[in-house]
Amino acid sequence: MRFGMKIGQGDLDIKLRKVRGFLEEGHKVRLQVFYRGRENAHRELGYVMINRILGLLEEVAVKEHEPQMAGRALSVVVRSK
């Protein structure tokens, strides 16, 4: 599931609802925060964003590894508890 840096709260809630559905079905989900343009100069904000997302999913998911950069995206894989 891809998240932009400027995602609104309503859009974030909808995407997290979809992620929870995938996890309930037993799938693993890759969460990606992607950077556009000048956002790449502030990569620390992406780590803040992905930690916020992981915090909202902590009751249903655990991360398999630490978040890592891959090109212009910061990604982490989560699985259900």
pLDDT of residue 76 exceeding 90: yes
Q: What is the pLDDT of residue 81?
A: 86
Close Cβ partners of 46 (under 8 Å, ≥ 6 residues apart):
5, 33, 35, 39, 74
Q: What is the CATH number of the domain that holds 59?
A: 3.30.110.10
Range of the domain at 64: 2-80
Instruction: Work out how many domains the chain is built from and give that number.
Output: 1
Q: What is the pLDDT of residues 14-31, one digit of tens each?
A: 999 999 999 999 999 999
Contact 69, 47 (CB under 8 A): no
Q: Give the tens place of pLDDT for each residue, 32-72.
A: 999 999 988 988 999 999 999 999 999 999 999 999 998 89
Q: pTM for the complete prediction?
A: 0.87
